[in-house]
Amino acid sequence: MAWRCWARAAGPRPHRLALLLLQPRRGFRRARPRPEEPPAAAAEARPVPPSPRRSLCPPSPTAAAGRPSPRRLVKPLLFAVGFTGSAFGSAAIWQYESLKSRVQTYFEEARADWMDKVRPQKRGDFRKQINSWWNNLTEGQRTVTGIIAANVFVFCLWRLPGMRRIMFTYFTSNPSSRALCSPMLLSTFSHFSLFHMAANMYVLWSFSSSIVSLLGCEQFIAVYLSAGVISTFVSYVAKMATGRFEPSLGASGAIMTVLAAVCTKMPEAKLAIILLPMFTFTAGSALKAIIAFDTAGLALGWRLFDHAAHLGGALFGMWYVTYGHELIWKNREPLVKAWHEMRTKNTGKGGGGRSN
């Protein structure tokens, strides 16, 4: 889930030099320095966040004073629209290139199979075992393997003390932060808690086969990345409206899009909780319960999860499989045609040059 973390609001401690300058002068005598505050009293004066939060979120730097202007949402809005369009356009071109190379790949695989039969096989070949494991995965599982690897890599970066400032700036999303646009995407791959990451990746792995068989590999990647950016923008809007500017991180917004899309298209599918497999329920009921929970959390001001990002991701997933697929993906033909003509023209020029 997309956890929230609070910034420490420790007041500025006066510098010792400033204390000396504020002492009244007595001739040429040096003013007696004011005794410093004991460490125990200083620790009691600082508000400390609840202990459970420390394991779920990184210790946050001091929050910036003042309420940011709503005009700061204009740039994230333009980024969300531009990134979504670029993601779907790139996915359409990717699908075109994949279809074009399938014939060549087929002949290469046939030749590789023939060579494996001719060459003597090595027993216990680790590479062969990896290939066998990879080939036994579904297309959806192979697709999300890269996403899971990226999340694990970013999780490892959080463990490096020297990377903390960079991670806070670019891998947590907050409308009051200095960086606004890049965290909308990067925070989708960012987890500080191992349990948080494991839960999100397990849900993604569980629904990977269904969502990829529903949308295809290329369209799924475009939907997933766009969902991360759009859900973060919804979180920005909610934080501006409520005035609560806690940083958020996690893939929950994008995963909620995947879950909502599958549950909307297959509402009668049976689901179960991993720790309670004896209790089953329909996908439609699960989606209604999740939306009701996040709506209540947003209305009542619960701060454990980023409920606005969850709702934004779920609504985007429901909208896309109902209307967005027809409006966006089905109208990709002009772009693919233009790309095909450009590729054909460049190939023709290259061929003409070689013939001369």
What is the bridge-based pairing of β-strands 248-249 and 276-282? unpaired
Which tokens hold the place of 268?
Answer: 């009668």
Distance between CA 84 and CA 216 in Å, rounded? 17
Distance between CA 136 and CA 145 in Å, rounded? 13
Q: Which is catalytic among the residues 226, 231, 235, 252?
A: 252
DSSP E strands, the chain: 3-4, 248-249, 270-273, 276-282
Which tokens hold the place of 202?
Answer: 């397990």
State how far the alpha carbon of 88 is from the alpha carbons of 7, 217, 295, in Å.
36, 12, 29
**DSSP bridge partners of 142:** none
* 101 is annotated as an active-site residue: no
* 310 is annotated as an active-site residue: yes
With H, G, I as helix, E, B as strand and everything else as coil, classify residue 267.
Answer: coil
Q: Which is catalytic among the residues 191, 196, 307, 310?
A: 310
Distance between CA 214 and CA 324 in Å, rounded? 14
Burial 90-117 (b: 16+ CB within 10 A, else e): ebbbebbeeeeeeeeeeeeeeeeeeeee
Catalytic residues: 252, 310
